[in-house]
């Protein structure tokens, strides 16, 4: 029997600025592009926002977040805008604005089934150990296309074998096996 751990991703966190407030999903629906910085060293999160039509940019203050505490999963945060301008140029020492990553603020329901020790997220999954093949960067795409064309006649048969195996076992096969990795190193 598998345990199930339901979670909601992108809760409707609140944004406060100059006497008004909104939620991140409402701002996203109104055309704001949202990014978040998750600082695991200082256990904090902050939001950067941009609205192309209005020509506005904004950054919130950092909010404390204990990332590794399971009780934080259902908590909504209150973010306060500290900078807003039509041409935001901020020079703050020790800040790395490249750490912001785009986010989707629309709430999503995630139901995680726990079947094995890897599903608890206590330990990292093992890295894929693969044989190293070195090729010139410009030939990678042509090699991938050649692999796809060689395998395309067998795709339907492989998918049918997997479906019949799932029907026999009564549950979908969730495990991924890595057979190759492509690493690109820019010179």
Instruction: Provide the pLDDT for residue 187.
Output: 46
Domain boundaries, the chain: 3-113, 125-169
CA-wise closest residue to 60 among 79, 78, 42, 44: 79
Q: How far out from the chain centre does Cα 129 lie?
A: 24
Specify the DSSP element, H or E, that contains 120: none
Give Cα separations from 81 to 7, 16, 24, 101 (angstroms).
27, 6, 12, 18
Full pLDDT tens readout for the chain, 187 residues: 456 667 777 788 899 998 899 999 999 999 999 998 888 777 888 999 999 898 898 999 998 887 666 555 667 889 999 988 886 555 554 555 567 888 888 888 777 776 766 665 555 555 555 667 777 878 888 888 888 888 888 888 888 887 887 777 665 555 555 566 666 555 4
Are the C-beta atoms of 44 and 66 separated by less than 8 Å? no
Instruction: Provide the pLDDT for residue 86.
Output: 83
Instruction: Provide the pLDDT for residue 180.
Output: 64
**How many whole angstroms separate alpha carbon 88 and alpha carbon 69?**
34
Instruction: Provide the pLDDT for residue 85.
Output: 85
Maximal CA-CA distance, the chain: 62
Q: If DSSP codes are grouped into helix, strand and coil, which group holds residue 159?
A: helix
CA end-to-end span of the chain, whole Å?
Answer: 50
What is the pTM for the complete model shown? 0.54
- Describe the chain by its helix, strand, coil percentages, rounded to 5: 25, 30, 45
């Amino acid at each position: 029997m598998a345990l199930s751990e339901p979670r909601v991703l992108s809760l409707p966190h609140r944004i406060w600025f100059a006497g008004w407030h909104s939620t991140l999903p409402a701002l996203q629906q109104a055309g704001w592009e949202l990014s978040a910085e998750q600082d695991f060293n200082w256990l904090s999160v902050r939001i950067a926002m941009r609205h192309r039509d209005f020509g506005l940019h904004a950054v919130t203050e950092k909010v404390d977040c204990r990332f590794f505490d399971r009780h934080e999963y259902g908590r909504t945060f209150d973010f306060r805008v500290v900078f807003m301008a039509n041409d935001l140029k901020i020079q703050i020492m020790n800040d790395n604005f490249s750490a912001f990553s785009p986010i989707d603020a629309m709430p999503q329901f995630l139901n995680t089934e726990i079947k094995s020790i890897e599903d608890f997220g206590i330990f990292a999954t093992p890295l894929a150990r693969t044989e190293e093949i070195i090729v010139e960067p410009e030939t990678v795409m042509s090699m991938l296309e050649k692999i796809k064309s060689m395998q395309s006649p067998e795709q339907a048969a492989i998918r049918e074998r997997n479906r019949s195996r799932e029907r026999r076992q009564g549950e979908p096969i969730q495990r991924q096996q890595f057979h190759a990795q492509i690493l690109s190193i820019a010179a």
